[in-house]
Structure 1
């Protein structure tokens, strides 16, 4: 690919609640997917990005560092930034970009079926996970996530209603939840705790995922934090084991 800058959508600017680096990171990630850029394709230089978007090098470097962390981009000393090779394994366990962002980055079609969407009192488990009080309400979502038309994940998501007022007034079928939270509320998840276990599908779960009752599933539970350290999402997801392989990155704990 040419070293010439690529056309990308304009940023919302400093008036937005979304930090500039995050706006730029999202624009670059979307460009990689929408333009079908291939592994090894060169991305615009720091100077080009600064000039095109009117942002500082600090903003550009922060955006690119996050893309490197998410595995979408790699750097070569003295040569610049390039589109990274995408593994077919799912990094949903170890990354905070969300299920659809992970799959879209691999050029697959993601669709969502909404089974439930309402405001309710949280159950004891969700209330404890999110640190909610007795009078707090939550937005509850139950969705089927499909890839290329095949049901892959059954997800229960719970968010504090006070953080996302009016969320259910927006269409949820055709949007990534994480992208919508970022756009509407400036919510960007910065960390998460996740637990993984093996379970067997109930009759209802099997029907939703188009598998046989008792089929082995991977269950992931998670609670995610935003910048101030507040827990802002709790979810429980059931993965079809015949349609997903999870990828973990293990780092040494030098304090142990």
Structure 2
């Protein structure tokens, strides 16, 4: 069993190495399961699992009865991880076909971490506002913001219409923004995240936890958790 796992890993590693070395062009047909089984002296099922893993990772695609082919590698989007400009503004400025869609607005139950991040009391009303970011018709990021009705008394009336938090803040008298801290981590998507972001299970997500403050008063406006698909962005940290 372990020998098969080791062989599967070796096949994956060597195929990725050859792909990165440009041995194959986009849409090139990769070696058949039989050919690789002969080369590595393993059962076909081992090669099949290796190919299935590569497909989950976004390297290849398959055609029924024809084999596996190298997937076209799209150009990654440069993304500056900063808290002074909105994601919408960054993407529109770059000229992308961009859509921000409000996918969730609701009041949340008490959550110690979120309430602490917002400096909120246990009895405060905290709302979740989630926006799906769609670029060139592909869902690429999910922004989830938490805001207090103490700071924004009209959030109950406008929350389900918000597609840009920064625009909402400007409409409520705040014009300059900053982040006081940011935490980066990497995770594989859950079933729900795969469904909304239309990605496979082995596409890692970059998770950015941060806040947005009014640059003048340092008042915390929101606590945010953002999920970025790693197969569509490269990140610039300033």
- TM-score range with shorter-chain normalisation? 0.5 to 0.7
Change (3 A) 1:114 1:176: closer
Structure having the higher strand fraction is 2
Q: Secondary structure at the match of 1:246?
A: strand
Q: How far did residue 120 of structure 1 move?
A: 3.3
Of residues 131, 140, 145, the one that matches 1:157 is 145
Task: Give the whole-Å Cα distance in 1 for the aligned partners of 2:104 and 2:95.
Answer: 28
Q: Which of 118, 125, 144 is 1:137 aligned to? A: 125
RMSD: 2.2
Map of 2:232 onto structure 1 = 243
5 Å-filtered alignment, 1:37-116, equals 88-91=77-80, 93-116=81-104
- Is the CA contact 2:179–2:210 (under 8 Å) kept in the aligned structure 1? no
Q: How many residue pairs are counted as aligned between the two chains?
A: 162
> Which residue of structure 2 aligns with residue 217 of structure 1?
205
The reply on whether 1:234 has 2:223 as its aligned counterpart is: yes
Give 1:174 deviation, angstroms: 7.2
TM-score of the pair, normalised by structure 2: 0.62
* Structure 1 pair 132–170 and aligned structure 2 pair: CA distance change class (3 A): closer
In 2, Cα distance between the equivalents of 1:88 and 1:242?
9
Deviation per CA, 1:54-88: give whole Å up to 9, x if none.
Answer: xxxxxxxxxxxxxxxxxxxxxxxxxxxxxxxxx95
Q: Which has the higher contact order (CA 8 A, sep 6+)?
A: 2
Could you tell me which of 191, 197, 203 is aligned with 2:179? 191
Report the Cα distance in structure 2 between the residues aligned to 1:174 and 1:215, rounded to whole angstroms: 28
Among 87, 91, 115, which residue is 1:127 paired with?
115
Give the gaps of 5 or more residues in structure 1: 1-86, 250-256
Question: 1:192 Cα deviation (Å)?
Answer: 3.2
- 8 Å CA contact 2:104–2:131 kept in 1: the answer is yes
Larger Rg over CA atoms = 2
Aligned partner of 1:208 among 183, 191, 196: 196
- 2:164 aligned residue (154, 176, 183): 176
1:230: how far off? Answer: 2.1
Q: Tell me how far apart the structure 2 counterparts of residues 142 and 101 of structure 1 sit (CA, whole Å).
A: 17
Higher-helix-fraction structure: 2
Q: Is the 8 A contact 2:110 2:122 kept in 1?
A: no
> Which aligned runs of 4 or more in structure 1 are off by greater than 6 angstroms?
none
Superposition deviation, residue 175 in structure 1: 4.2
| Mean Cα deviation higher: 108-117 or 154-163 | 108-117
Give structure 2 stretches of 5+ with no counterpart: 1-75
